[in-house]
Structure 1
Amino acid sequence: MQRTASAADFNAAQRFFRRASSLLWRRPRVAATVLLAPPMLWFVLIYLAALGILFLSAFWTVDDFTGEIVHQWTLINFETLATSETYRAIAGRTLGIAALVTLTDIVLAFPCAYFMARIAGPRLRATLFVVMLLPIWLSYVARVYAWRLILAHDGVLNWTLHQLGLPAADIGYTNTAMWLVFSYIWLPFMITPIYAAIERVPGSLFEASADLGAKGLRTFVKVTLPLVVPGIIAGSIFTFSLTMGDYITPILIGGPGSSFIGNVVYSNVGIANDIPFAAAFATIPAVVMVAYLFAARRLGAFEMM
């Protein structure tokens, strides 16, 4: 009797799944809804809800005596950010270095991506991809520490310059050092989308441009660059956002005046226990990235991602 009941249950389950499969096959919208419902629910409840709570807590304050959060609406945290020269300088440094790193990686990534997509053979292309992606597989902190040893006052760079009879660079623990390290760390994230964009450009367009008498520079400006702009914007989303949200490299590579927004947020959460002020400061990169993503979407960058 038990085996008969188990077989009946198995057959019933089979019939149920067949009917459900048939229903989903006839109605693709229902199938897409069932497939996307769990991740979308997670996205709304976990990700967007956390951002919403972060934004709301920015309008609260902390009691100086008890250290408890006071749930009263106020703009004092944003007023402090707007009136303090220190916090304005930190925000400007964060956005400025993030933009500079993005521009640097664009300049470095474009020739590399073009060579890989249009000139290198299959074997060389595969080798270059491995060389490009290999640093990503290593520890982020290990790579930053390696650059710390290179750029330190008694590091490899200054020792090499001394052996060549040149003056020391002395760029360790400065904003310049952070710019170099960030540009190195995030370069693969710029090369990959630009490579994908260049690879999608039909070779017939280059031939047509040459047949019409256009030289290399004119072909680059009129043909290549406009078609690769979405890939550049897609790569800039990674480099700009990752640089802007970092707080480890400023600690290990930067000097006393090299704090980023992330460092202030970390110190206010873990040390000062002023979560509302940390939330208010954290809204700056969030708002900047939302505006940047909307602009990138209009330029078709999401097609390269």
Structure 2
Amino acid sequence: MPEVAVSSPASRGLSDRLSDLLWSRQGLLILLLILPPALWLGIIYLGALFALLAQSFFSIDPFSGLINYEFTLRTYGELFRAANLDIIVRTVLMAGCVTIAAMIVGFPVAYYAARYARGKWKALFYLGVMLPLWSSYLVKVYSWKLILAKEGILSWLFETLHLSWLLDAYLLLPVVGGNSLSVSWTGTFLVFLYVWLPFMILPTQAALERVPPSMLEASGDLGARPGQTFRHVLLPLALPGIVAGSIFTFSLTLGDYIIPQIVGTSARMIGQAVYQFQGTAGNIPLAAAFAVVPILIMGVYLYIAKRMGAFNAL
């Protein structure tokens, strides 16, 4: 019989021994796999957050304009000044309005896709929802500025339908109006809604996909009217997806500074305040304190969303 050569452990290569080691110690393998992203998250992301938090506890010397590196809560106290508090309230209200509107507009679209769209129509649905996300963010915002301008397509449409008086009457309203829709809070709201709407539709549609049609049919068989079926069966089951979508729409609106900079009034939102205080004003501690506000708000929001099971729909 021919002899079979058996390689000794000493003759095996380093890669073979390393492979055996990782195979026998699964914990070490998992550690090596997650170590690079964990270091990236810990150093780049969490490190930047801690640096931001540390800056917020410093202050600006009113005479020299230099940063005073002594621990103080005075910068956070400045957030409660009337002008700064208006910025926070204005941003939270806008984020809340955009989120509620996205729920109202996105739910019927998501329901149709989950219940009725099949085959090529479902593919067309995903294409229609995702297509706005494939174009440039700035191109979309500037396109809406042209649409909402006084000489834009929307004004031309109202004029063609002989409804210019209705648009003019709306623009005369004190809070939502302005010289044109492109320089009003209504314009800012519409652009926010358009840009972030896909982030509400997709989680809601995923949650509605999990609702068995037999439950809706059973509700009707037991004598429930369509409104009762919606309130007591469909909406509670779809709520985790709706809340998951609201996490995106609310947080993205809360921190955005480009849309209010291009479309809307001169009144600032939190993102603009952070950008201006850090850049032109040079007040880094106040910019850091403003940046902490959305983090705290989203921390509370995420806690509530987790209690409602929203993360199961992500």
Deviation at 1:21, TM superposition (A): 3.8
Match runs of 1:146-295 below 5 Å: 146-167=143-164, 169=167, 170-257=180-267, 259-295=268-304
Aligned to 1:172, what secondary structure does the other structure show? helix
Using the alignment, how far apart are the partners of 1:38 and 1:12 within structure 2?
A: 26
Once the two structures are superposed, residues 242-273 of structure 1 have per-residue CA deviations (whole angstroms, 9 ceiling, x without a partner) of 0010001111101122x111111101111111
Q: TM-score, normalised by structure 1?
A: 0.91
Using the alignment, how far apart are the partners of 1:225 and 1:9 within structure 2?
A: 66
Aligned to 1:256, what secondary structure does the other structure show? coil
Q: TM-score, normalised by structure 2?
A: 0.88
Once the two structures are superposed, residues 55-99 of structure 1 have per-residue CA deviations (whole angstroms, 9 ceiling, x without a partner) of 1111112334554322111122111111x2111111111000000
User: 170-179 or 29-38, which moves further after superposition?
Assistant: 29-38
User: 124-133 or 157-166, which moves further after superposition?
Assistant: 157-166
The one-letter code matched in structure 2 to 1:76 is: R
Deviation at 1:211, TM superposition (A): 2.5
Matched, 1:68 2:66: yes
Using the alignment, how far apart are the partners of 1:86 and 1:62 within structure 2?
A: 18
* Number of the residue aligned with 1:23: 24
Deviation at 1:9, TM superposition (A): 9.8
Using the alignment, how far apart are the partners of 1:9 and 1:143 within structure 2?
A: 64
Using the alignment, how far apart are the partners of 1:95 and 1:156 within structure 2?
A: 30
Using the alignment, how far apart are the partners of 1:262 and 1:297 within structure 2?
A: 26
Using the alignment, how far apart are the partners of 1:92 and 1:86 within structure 2?
A: 10
Q: Which runs of 5+ in 2 are unaligned?
A: 1-8, 168-179
Aligned to 2:164, what secondary structure does the other structure show? coil
Structure 1 residues 33 and 215, CA, compared in 2 at 3 Å: closer, same or farther? Answer: farther
Using the alignment, how far apart are the partners of 1:152 and 1:114 within structure 2?
A: 33
Using the alignment, how far apart are the partners of 1:301 and 1:20 within structure 2?
A: 40
Deviation at 1:274, TM superposition (A): 1.0
Once the two structures are superposed, residues 162-207 of structure 1 have per-residue CA deviations (whole angstroms, 9 ceiling, x without a partner) of 1221225232211111111101110000000000000011222223
* Number of the residue aligned with 2:94: 97
Structure 1 residues 196 and 55, CA, compared in 2 at 3 Å: closer, same or farther? Answer: same
The one-letter code matched in structure 1 to 2:242 is: I
Matched, 1:115 2:115: no
Using the alignment, how far apart are the partners of 1:222 and 1:30 within structure 2?
A: 49
Using the alignment, how far apart are the partners of 2:36 and 2:280 within structure 1?
A: 37
Q: Which runs of 5+ in 1 are unaligned?
A: 1-7
Figure out how many residues of one structure are paired with residues of the other and give that number: 293
Using the alignment, how far apart are the partners of 2:259 and 2:183 within structure 1?
A: 10
Are 2:111 and 2:205, in contact at CA under 8 Å, matched by a contact in 1? yes
Deviation at 1:296, TM superposition (A): 0.9
Are 2:98 and 2:249, in contact at CA under 8 Å, matched by a contact in 1? yes
Are 2:274 and 2:290, in contact at CA under 8 Å, matched by a contact in 1? yes
Using the alignment, how far apart are the partners of 1:117 and 1:10 within structure 2?
A: 60
User: 288-297 or 55-64, which moves further after superposition?
Assistant: 55-64
* Number of the residue aligned with 1:12: 13
Are 2:22 and 2:28, in contact at CA under 8 Å, matched by a contact in 1? no
Deviation at 1:19, TM superposition (A): 1.0
Structure 1 residues 151 and 60, CA, compared in 2 at 3 Å: closer, same or farther? Answer: same
The one-letter code matched in structure 2 to 1:153 is: K
Using the alignment, how far apart are the partners of 1:32 and 1:18 within structure 2?
A: 13
Once the two structures are superposed, residues 209-256 of structure 1 have per-residue CA deviations (whole angstroms, 9 ceiling, x without a partner) of 233222322221111111111101100000000001000111110112
* Number of the residue aligned with 1:38: 36
Which of these residues, 78, 100, 115, is aligned with residue 80 of structure 1? 78
Matched, 1:51 2:56: no
